[in-house]
Amino acid sequence: MITLHVDLGSRSYPVVVGAGARDQLKALVPLGAVRAAVVTQPGIDFDVDTGLVQRSFPVAPGEEAKRLTTIEDLCRSWANWGLTRADVVVAVGGGVVTDAAGFAAAVYHRGVAVIHVATTLLGMVDAAIGGKTGVNLPEGKNLVGAFWQPTAVVCDTDALATLPPREYRSGQGEMAKYAFLGVADLDRLALDEAIAACVAAKAAAVGADERDAGTGRRALLNYGHTLAHALETAGRYDLRHGEAVAIGLVFAARLAQRLGRIDSGRVDEHRALVAGYQLATEIPAGFDVDELVALMARDKKAVEDLTFVLDGPVGVEVVSGIDADDVRAVLNEHGSPM
């Protein structure tokens, strides 16, 4: 078992990684809690024992759960059950569950403790850690939410034994991102060690820039995400989050090359790493260039112009003021637009 810590002073918390990690859950619940509201989704067969009086609160399957109506439904159900501010919410699932349950916990009684039990690779290496919670609007991904740090995060690798191959590869899309943020030799590490290495990288970024200043260290975790979120928001491409991030990484590399920040060899490194995880490197055919540019302009990093996280001579950094014509040119080279 590997235990890491997200260092946030009095709000620091452990992240437990390894086979059987869920057995640590009883020791992680807050002192004085009586009830545990376990939020999960249909199809997630991963039982947890909090040692408290607990009840399951399922939310809609897939991305459908990340809606404001889900937050209202959860809070009303908890109120009817009698969940108090001294109790705990336990989110059992992938990033959708931890995002929605974490946001509901942040606003219920103005804040109730939450523990994330990640059951997907993507959740373990990224989504469950860092305190970003939220839901989607038709206008974009994660536009409504709150920063609400968990009390603890549990990454039980036993949960990955039944994870569908496509969902596992989706998690590898996020792992690919960490490879370009300085996490070395992920493909050579044992699974728990690779997950822990990604957790350590995210924990360091969160500790240095908890509230995501936009140009700070945490913003670099959005590498590959500007196009990824646009593809997801467009809603017609049948892409998992990590699949979209993988495409976004290669796109960002090509954009960086066009801007003279990196050479073709570095672009080839991006493409090879993504393809090595059996993930697509090109945007699905039939995309609308203008639509994607408009959606990328709504990205949370952007203020008055197109902003991307891009590789360069000193590594990955936030770059603002990018000309839309450059973005369109790379999109037109990156796949088969409509």
Residue 172 maps to a domain:
no
pLDDT digits (tens, 9 = 90+) for 151-162: 999 999 999 999
Clarify whether residues 100 and 217 are in a common domain.
no
For residue 14, list its beta bridge partners: 5
Q: Is residue 290 part of a domain?
A: yes
Give dist(CA 33, CA 143) in Å, integer. Answer: 31
Output the pLDDT for position 337: 76
Q: Cα(318)–Cα(308) distance, rounded to whole angstroms?
A: 6
* 67 residue type, one letter: R
Q: Are residues 132 and 218 in the same domain?
A: no
Answer yes or no: do 148 and 21 share one domain. Answer: yes
Q: How far is CA 281 from the centre of its chain?
A: 19
**Integer Cα distance of 238 and 83 in angstroms:** 37
Domain count, the chain: 2
Q: What letter would DSSP give residue 23? A: G
Alpha carbons 129 and 132: distance in angstroms, whole number: 8
Going by C-alpha positions, the residue among 28, 74, 31, 32 that lies closest to residue 55 is 74
Q: Indicate if 106 and 240 belong to the same structural domain.
A: no
Kindly report the CATH number assigned to the domain that includes residue 319: 1.20.1090.10
Q: Are residues 150 and 6 in the same domain?
A: yes
Q: Are 108 and 42 in a shared domain? A: yes
Same structural domain, 133 and 219: no
Q: 205, 221 in Cβ contact below 8 A?
A: yes
Average pLDDT for residues 273-286, to the nearest whole number? 94
What does pLDDT average to over the chain? 94
- What's the average model confidence in pLDDT over 82-87? 97
40, 97 in Cβ contact below 8 A? yes
111 and 251 belong to one structural domain: no
* Closest by Cα among 68, 45, 13, 44 to 207: 13
Q: Which amino acid is at 73?
A: D
- Given the structure tokens 């994660």, which residue do they identify? 142
Percentage of the chain modeled with pLDDT above 70: 98
Domain boundary residue, one of 122, 143, 163: 163
Distances (CA, A) of 330 to 50, 157, 231, 257: 50, 38, 15, 10
pLDDT in tens, 175-186: 999 999 999 899
Q: Are residues 10 and 152 in the same domain?
A: yes
Burial 258-269, CB ≥16 within 10 A → b, else e: bbebbeeebbee
Domain final residue, candidates 163, 196, 227: 163
Same domain (yes/no): 152, 240: no
Domain-located, residue 202: no
Q: How large is the average pLDDT for residues 39-57?
A: 96
- Residue 214 banded pLDDT, cuts 50, 70, 90: low
**How large is the C-alpha radius of gyration of the chain?**
19
Query: Which two tokens mark 79?
Result: 């109120």
Please tell me whether residues 153 and 243 are part of one structural domain: no
Question: pTM score, two decimals?
Answer: 0.92
Summarised one tens digit per residue, pLDDT across range 229-239 is 999 999 889 99
Nearest to 171 by CA among 198, 136, 204, 153: 198
Give the model's pLDDT for residue 125.
Answer: 97
> 3-class DSSP state for residue 7?
coil
Residue 43 covered by a domain: yes
- Would the pLDDT of 303 be above 80? no
The CATH number that applies at residue 17 is 3.40.50.1970
In this predicted structure, the answer to whether residue 244 has a pLDDT above a threshold of 70 is: yes
CA 155 to the chain's CA centroid:
14
Token pair recorded at residue 332: 């037109």
- My answer on whether 141 and 7 are in the same domain is yes
Instruction: Show the domain range for 81.
Output: 2-163
Higher pLDDT, 237 or 38: 38
C-alpha to C-alpha distance for 105 and 119, rounded to whole angstroms:
19
Gap between the Cα atoms of 278 and 280, Å rounded: 7
